Amino acid sequence: MTDPSAPHPQRRALLCATGALLALGALPSQAQQRLKLATITTGFPPGGSSDVLARILAEHLRGKHADAVIVEAKAGAGGRLAVEHVKNSPGDGSSLLISPSGMMVLFPHIYRSLRYDPLVDITPITPLAKFPFFLAIGPMVPAEVRTLADFIAWCKANPKQASFGSPGAGTSAHFSGIMLGRRADMEYTHVAYRGMAPVVQDLLGGQIPSGVLTPVEALPILSTGKLRLIAATGTGRSRFAPEVPTYAELGYPDIVIEESFSLYGPASLSADSARQLAELTHQMLAQADTQARFAQMGLEVAPQQPAQFKASLKALHGRWGGIVKASGFTPQD
């Protein structure tokens, strides 16, 4: 006689199959289920490069990582506020950060009271894009000055005029100028601005002779002939300006700086979640339309696995410590 409390044969088969799948990890656990909402935070005002990249990534993650993915700007303190926000966020994948690498590898050496330790409080997921800086000279410098050697000679002949603009004291752009002045044994005064736009404005207006620019600012103006790009900080020549030699080619092998925009999460983000987010992001970076959109900003895609990315950040953190110390820069509060 059949036990009335026993499950129906079809239901019993289904329960057995479900148990087997769960044992094999073939069915998602509650922790792996898609989120309702995720936020990508940036540390700079809307419209900038990090905001544009965050919106491209949000489009891709929507419906895959979370039902809704929004972008939120927490501008201020040179991007530090955004890092602090994500540091203190849940580790369920609902709070992500897109930030330049300087916040992680350079800022620990220039701010005494930094309220996060990037090697402890933040989980590296993957870089999205990388770019070099360009040394640009403008109309204040005579037209016959066309090369880095010409410009160094001009600076030494005009020490009171020899200066460069950067988007702020303590930025990697700032340190590239410090390094050039030290290696070329010349007086090279730094002029700090609040962002790249005013650097370009004063460079074009002849208020400063030179500036350290990103591709986003430099490349659109290059075709006008109003700026001359005379050196780049990359490991190799940029495909967007292949005529511009690197500092290494010109005899300054230690002036190699490549900034990146990367994806991070809080320290409590699990390794599995970091790998899944990296995989989703790499799928996006492999798409031709993504690469075309990045190229419009002079950016190269630069995917890395989380473990590889973490190791490279640690190495850069150490390198920047040496650069800052050698520069004589006084850490700020």
Q: How far apart are alpha carbons 164 and 178 in whole angstroms?
A: 9
- What is the model's pLDDT at position 32? 53
Confidence at residue 45, expressed as pLDDT on a 0 to 100 scale: 86
The 10s digit of each residue's pLDDT in 263-315 is: 999 999 999 999 999 999 999 999 999 999 999 999 999 999 999 999 999 99
Closest CA to 96 of 160, 155, 38, 162: 38
The pLDDT value recorded for residue 19 is 45
pLDDT at 222: 87
Cα 262 to chain center, whole Å? 5
Residue with the two structure tokens 């506020």 = 81
Residues 146-151: contacts with CB under 8 Å, at least 24 apart:
146/228, 146/230, 147/230, 148/230, 148/231, 148/245, 148/247, 148/250, 149/250, 150/230, 151/210, 151/230
Sheet holding 95-100, edge to edge: 66-73, 35-42, 95-100, 258-266, 122-132, 300-301
- 166, 211 in Cβ contact below 8 A? yes
Q: Which has the closest alpha carbon to 121: 263, 268, 260, 262?
A: 268
Q: Which residues of the chain have pLDDT under 50?
A: 1-2, 4-6, 8-31
Question: pLDDT per residue over 268-281, tens digit each?
Answer: 999 999 999 999 99
